[in-house]
Structure 1
Amino acid sequence: MIHHVIRASFIKIDLLKVIWGGLFLVGYVTQPEAQAEDASTWVKKGEAALAAAKRLTPNNKPAKNVILFVGDGMGISTITAARIFQGQSKGMDGESNQLSFEKLPYVALSKTYSANQQTADSAPTMTAMVTGVKTNDGILSLNQSILSDEEDNAKVQAAKLITILELAERSGLSTGIVSTARITHATPAATYSHTSNRDWEDNHQVPIGSQVKDIAAQLIDNFAEKHSGNGLEVALGGGRTNFLPNTLTDPEYPEMKGRRTDGRNLVEEFKQKFNAHYVWNSTQFNAVDAKKTQRLLGLFEPSHMQYEHDRSKDVAGEPSLTEMTEKAIDILAQNKKGYFLMVEAGRIDHAHHAGNAYRALSDAVALSDAVKRTLEKIDLDNTLVIVTADHSHTFTIAGYPVRGNPILGKVVNPGSADFAKASDGKPYTTVSYSNGLGFHEHHSETEAPIVPRSGRVQDLTAIDTTNPNYHQEATVPLKSETHGAEDVAIFAGGPKAHLIQGAQEQSYIFYVMKEALGF
């Protein structure tokens, strides 16, 4: 039988195999620690939180540094589930656990719609955050007068919006981007590039005859003029093939080549133009002495970096998001004027699109780990830290599971010794998706594509829904789960962080960063 004890404020969770009804199930037993919960528990917590809030004093000093963390697709339901997931993974009470950035003192809501869509993609949402202007879907750091796929470069140049990274460059600050996605992907690309199609990541994707530069080239070419700054000091993430010519073999995967058809080797150009150090595996990365390195380009995969769950299996080894963030800060902090750094946990979004909650939550926890290490390294007295998301997903947390029930498990109601049943007589999971690929028991990225299946296609009684390769059920069958349109959270600490309050347009984030840096 499956027993649940909910009187403890901290609960130890042990995974075990259970025999029930002649079937081999996966269940959980919760065991109370020494400290029990009662009414006084909530009184003490409430009084402590109130006392902490009363001690808050707005920091009106100018910020020397700004660090913007973006959990791509990290909606509020993802934060809630990741909080529980992390706590349960540590044998703690997941519900009362806190992710590192949830401890920041100021919180607001961000309205994520774009200029032309209720539910937006990452291009206009990140554009809003780094330029202060909302734009159309698929557009990077151009105003909404430009429609998707505009090939006229004169029109594109006329619609350019200056980004917070570009302002930092022009002001003599050091700048950096870190992402577990391709560094030419929408979120990091919005900080330094301007294009009418977020998919024009290398030159062969740009329509023949168009003079609009591809995103990878803009990482170098957009800093060619003196007034534009001296270029990024740090760029770490995936996307090697967008920087290499199609005549060069990838150093990690011999069967792959670069994608560029213009003959440019942007890795070599970046190294030569900026006198930069280049790495593509963990050994090289670990060997970099940040105190002796002025510029660092790291491209660790041909496309996106591995999910955190799969990172240890990578052929050449990859640094974690925490390790990349830490090294980026150490390099950027050498500039006495200060720095701007954007850090993206890009693969939260990709796992949600695949309907794979385990990897989405694992990568959200990885972002929390990166924020935790950052807060240990920096001084919040002079560094503004903002943690937010570009948009949400159709990821839901539902049912009435007992306190301590595994967040990725099947629902067990309080006082019950059996899984809760839906009207079809079968158990159901706490988390699921409104649309997407639907139920698949075990599936990894390396396998054949999944055929979308909606609804209750199989009895989950004997299925381990906590398996990393399990894909949650979905209501509407789609080849890729979609974004969600609800507001996302903004967490902040440091100079001017108290300006993060209320329910704001997503573009408001830019103005807080701009104000903090005194631009």
Structure 2
Amino acid sequence: MSHTRRALFYATVVCILLAAQALPPCARDDEECRDSRMHPDLEEPTGRVFARKFDGDDTNDYWRNQGKEFIKAKLAEKRNTNKAKNVILFLGDGMGITTHSAARNLIGGEEQYFSFEKFPFTGLSKTYAIDRIVPDSANTATAYLCGVKAMKGTIGVSGQVEREDCEAMLNTSTHVYSIAKWAMDAGKSAGVVTTTRITHASPAGVYAHIAERDWEDDSEVKQSCGANTNVKDIAYQLIHGEVGSKLSLMMGGGKRHFVDPKLYVNGTRSDGLNLIEQYQQLSAQNAYVESRAELNNLNFTNVQRVLGIFADSHLKYHLETDENSVQPTLEEMTRKAIEFLSRNEQGYFIFIEGGRIDTAHHDNMARIALDEVVEFSKAIQAARDLTNEEDTLIVVTADHSHSFSYSGYPYRGNDIFARTPANPVDRVPYLTLSYANGPGYETFYDVVNKVRRDPTTLITGDIYDAFPATAPLDSETHGGDDVAVFASGPWSHLFTGTYEQNTIPHLMAYASCLSDGLTACSNAEK
């Protein structure tokens, strides 16, 4: 090789090397390369990383044996075709699959199971509304309680009623009734328990017929329908409505919607009524409680109905309370509700909602949302412990999901609320948990300089930490993905597969023989 050609060769090599230094660590698009450029700036430990590991889980036998044991358990299951004397519907408001999957890390890790995840049968429910791909808690309540899909924002009315249509909802032919009424018509007792206002969208699906979920008291109705309207608000329907007035047990928050401010300083009614007092005057056997102590000390001997209202609005988040809290936990309310309703020899239907999973997600408060799932699971376990699987069908589901993300290749045992090993192109760390939208955007994005802020400097460990959001919204939105359905007890095997959300009450009614149509009892007679 001549001197000139040799010089040209070495110059070319130097140029290639210099160019390579300016390129990303890897230009290929295979998995090995993607992993190598995920976190070039992190102090990455050498070798395999296990923050949490179990003996033998790096062997083939560990996982093969686990698979075999699962098959054996499934083969040992027997289909329960007894008539369901009791039906309990648990609703985790906003508890999408991502939410309860991430929440497992709060009970020991992703390999753990919540009480309801141990149920033998699971399915998927499609949650869309008649008019929306992504639903709200009102139209979904109409679906999973009343058996029909409806318009967003409406409760207990058919799809013929548009949101805020004051006149259409007065036509009783548009009203649809929940499985609670079906149960009471069959001689059973019925009740509703929630950690939200008892006039909120989900619990209202048990007893209300309304064209606007926000019409929780008469003041809100009048703003939309005028002072002389005949539309009755949700709180009024709970006390005096066709279904609400017959419910045996009602517990939650929302006292403000039942009382005029002239009679109670925090009241929001404008009609001069005290609906709580009216409820008490209906019968000397109508018990009313406002605290955990009053509920726990309530003697059911001479009590026909129970109304418990424990807050002016929603109940506090579990993380905001302690052992001395005035308000009862969801588990405590569940236990008292089952104890009370079990007095009816004909059985009962009860709707129990862990409602504050949803409200925490709307504020991007992932710590609180996941903790509420843990509390929800405790209540479900209590119900399973207090009832007999031979005659009590328990169904657990969600009304909708949220725009909640759980990603980034975190190591086993990593703090679920911490950063991931991944290092984005902008070299700013990102967290395992985030949202597609919501108030967290303003905290984590520097609008002036158009750059993301380092989330590890902003997440403090406070329960109210807002987690990052991609798009700025005052309130994070729901998600449109299917939600899981878990079932245990009589005819629980029917809840497998993928189906429309409005199928759920029909399946429960079939198991409990609650209609004149197709039921387990009518089939047995043929």
TM-score by length of 2: 0.83
Asked if the contact 1:141–1:162 (Cα under 8 Å) also holds between the matched residues in 2, the reply is yes
1:174 is aligned, of 164, 168, 189, to 189
Asked if the contact 2:443–2:468 (Cα under 8 Å) also holds between the matched residues in 1, the reply is no
User: Corresponding residue for 1:220?
Assistant: 239
Amino acid at match of 2:246: G
Describe the superposition over 1:51-78 as per-residue Cα deviations: whole angstroms up to 9, x where unpaired.
1111122111111000000000000100
Describe the superposition over 1:278-328 as per-residue Cα deviations: whole angstroms up to 9, x where unpaired.
1112221221234664321111110000011112298x6110000001100
2:92 is aligned, of 68, 71, 78, to 71
Asked if the contact 2:253–2:314 (Cα under 8 Å) also holds between the matched residues in 1, the reply is yes
Partner SS, residue 30 of structure 1:
coil
Counterpart-to-counterpart distance in 1, 2:332 and 2:270: 33
Amino acid at match of 2:348: Y
Aligned length: 464
How far 1:455 moved relative to its partner?
8.5
1:307 is aligned, of 298, 317, 330, to 317
How far 1:479 moved relative to its partner?
0.6
| Residue 148 (str. 1) matches residue 163 (str. 2) | yes
Describe the superposition over 1:159-189 as per-residue Cα deviations: whole angstroms up to 9, x where unpaired.
0012101111222211110000000000000
Describe the superposition over 1:399-450 as per-residue Cα deviations: whole angstroms up to 9, x where unpaired.
11111111111113xxxxxxx32211121101100011125779xxxxxxx9
User: Corresponding residue for 1:509?
Assistant: 504
Structure 1: unaligned runs, 5 residues or longer = 1-19, 23-27, 88-93, 250-255, 413-419, 443-449
Which structure: greater helix fraction? 2
Partner SS, residue 357 of structure 2:
helix
Counterpart-to-counterpart distance in 1, 2:397 and 2:178: 17
User: Corresponding residue for 1:236?
Assistant: 251
Give RMSD over aligned pairs. 2.6
Partner SS, residue 108 of structure 1:
strand
How far 1:34 moved relative to its partner?
5.9
Q: Percent identity?
A: 39
Bigger Rg, which one: 2
Amino acid at match of 2:73: A
User: Corresponding residue for 1:211?
Assistant: 230
Partner SS, residue 206 of structure 1:
helix
User: Corresponding residue for 1:394?
Assistant: 403
Asked if the contact 2:319–2:371 (Cα under 8 Å) also holds between the matched residues in 1, the reply is yes
User: Corresponding residue for 1:281?
Assistant: 291
Asked if the contact 1:111–1:505 (Cα under 8 Å) also holds between the matched residues in 2, the reply is yes
Q: Quick one: structure 1 residues 431 and 60, their matched pair in 2 at CA, closer, same or farther if it must change by over 3 Å?
A: same
Asked if the contact 1:440–1:471 (Cα under 8 Å) also holds between the matched residues in 2, the reply is no
Asked if the contact 1:397–1:432 (Cα under 8 Å) also holds between the matched residues in 2, the reply is yes
- Correspondence list, 1:109-128, <5 A: 109-128=124-143
Q: Quick one: structure 1 residues 455 and 371, their matched pair in 2 at CA, closer, same or farther if it must change by over 3 Å?
A: farther
Q: Quick one: structure 1 residues 453 and 478, their matched pair in 2 at CA, closer, same or farther if it must change by over 3 Å?
A: farther
User: Corresponding residue for 2:63?
Assistant: 42
How far 1:467 moved relative to its partner?
3.4
Asked if the contact 1:172–1:229 (Cα under 8 Å) also holds between the matched residues in 2, the reply is no
User: Corresponding residue for 1:298?
Assistant: 308
Counterpart-to-counterpart distance in 2, 1:350 and 1:482: 10
Q: Quick one: structure 1 residues 332 and 50, their matched pair in 2 at CA, closer, same or farther if it must change by over 3 Å?
A: same
Describe the superposition over 1:467-510 as per-residue Cα deviations: whole angstroms up to 9, x where unpaired.
32211111111111000000000000111111101110000101
How far 1:33 moved relative to its partner?
6.2
Q: Quick one: structure 1 residues 242 and 400, their matched pair in 2 at CA, closer, same or farther if it must change by over 3 Å?
A: same
User: Corresponding residue for 1:157?
Assistant: 172
User: Corresponding residue for 2:327?
Assistant: 318
Q: Quick one: structure 1 residues 31 and 135, their matched pair in 2 at CA, closer, same or farther if it must change by over 3 Å?
A: closer
Amino acid at match of 2:481: E
How far 1:460 moved relative to its partner?
2.7
Counterpart-to-counterpart distance in 1, 2:448 and 2:182: 47
Amino acid at match of 1:361: L
Amino acid at match of 1:411: T
How far 1:85 moved relative to its partner?
2.2
Q: Quick one: structure 1 residues 186 and 461, their matched pair in 2 at CA, closer, same or farther if it must change by over 3 Å?
A: closer
User: Corresponding residue for 2:487?
Assistant: 492
1:80 is aligned, of 81, 96, 101, to 101
Q: Quick one: structure 1 residues 29 and 229, their matched pair in 2 at CA, closer, same or farther if it must change by over 3 Å?
A: closer
| Residue 55 (str. 1) matches residue 76 (str. 2) | yes
Asked if the contact 2:50–2:411 (Cα under 8 Å) also holds between the matched residues in 1, the reply is no
Q: Quick one: structure 1 residues 451 and 202, their matched pair in 2 at CA, closer, same or farther if it must change by over 3 Å?
A: farther
Counterpart-to-counterpart distance in 2, 1:222 and 1:41: 58
Counterpart-to-counterpart distance in 2, 1:288 and 1:162: 31
Asked if the contact 1:237–1:305 (Cα under 8 Å) also holds between the matched residues in 2, the reply is yes
Counterpart-to-counterpart distance in 1, 2:484 and 2:449: 30
